[in-house]
Structure 1
Amino acid sequence: MRSRRGTDQGAGTVLVLGVVAVLVTVLFGALAVLSAVEAGHRAASAADLAALAGAASLAAESPTGGACDRAAAVAAANGAVLVDCVVRGEEVWLATTVSPAFRGLPAAT
């Protein structure tokens, strides 16, 4: 009589490879999500700092273009790109964008 043991050889290897593949997929998914969240936080922080710099430039009675130029410089110093800047009276409204560390994801604004 033949032993059934011979038919199951290698089944554990296939199971382990499957589990490892699932874990790697979940890990990369989590890294992508965390990278996008981190980029969003960096974009928000850069926008806040750039807006404060622009407002300080306005308070120093610089011309209107100077506020946006100063905001762009501060955004760049914080790893962001200034994509929109509008001065309304004594307020500076702006938007920044940051590329996430995980390649292939869209930029965070």
Structure 2
Amino acid sequence: MAGSIATAGVVCAVGIAAAALVGIGAAAAESQRAAGIADAAALAAADTLAGFAAGDPCSRAGEIAAAQAGSVTACDIDGLIATVTIETRFGAIPVTAIARAGPPL
């Protein structure tokens, strides 16, 4: 009887640990997704600055971010370099990423 209670405790502990690891993995994946959205938005803004696309660079970055369920919270232009900050959500937790793009130096 004592062995089956100990076994049940171990099984519960392993289940809780597995659930925690799944949550941590999902948060890490969302962080990488946010970084990808920020990269794409910054590249779109830099392409617009360089004349490869028409329109406002920050508006273009916002369109790209919105297409991937993100939103631009800051867009700074310095010459031909665009720095874009985006935000996504992981449940109720905001996830922020920043990317910079421009011509090679």
Q: What TM-score comes out, normalization by structure 2 length?
A: 0.77
Please state whether the residue corresponding to 1:85 is helix, strand or coil: strand
1:79 match: secondary structure: coil
Aligned mate of 2:64, from 40, 58, 74: 74
Aligned pairs, number:
95
Q: Which TM-score applies when normalising by structure 1?
A: 0.75
1:94 corresponds to which of 84, 88, 98: 84
Mapped to 2, the partners of 1:70 and 1:31 lie a distance apart of: 35
Q: Which has more helix, going by share of residues?
A: 1
Q: Which runs of 5+ in 1 are unaligned?
A: 1-9
Q: Does 1:50 align with 2:37?
A: no
The equivalent residue for 1:35 is: 26
1:108 is aligned to 2:95 = yes
- Superposed CA RMSD in Å reads 1.9
SS across alignment from 2:89 = coil
CA–CA distance in structure 2, aligned partners of residues 29 and 75 of structure 1: 29
Task: Note closer, same or farther for the CA distance 1:95–1:74 as it changes in structure 2 (3 Å cut).
Answer: same
Task: State which structure, 1 or 2, has the greater radius of gyration over its C-alpha atoms.
Answer: 1
More strand by share: 2
* Contact 1:99–1:107 (CA under 8 A) maintained in structure 2: yes
Secondary structure (helix, strand or coil) at the match of 1:99 reads strand
Identity %: 28
Report the AA paired with residue 108 of structure 1: V
* In structure 1, distance between residues paired with 2:47 and 2:86: 18
Extract structure 1 runs of 4+ deviating beyond 3 A: none
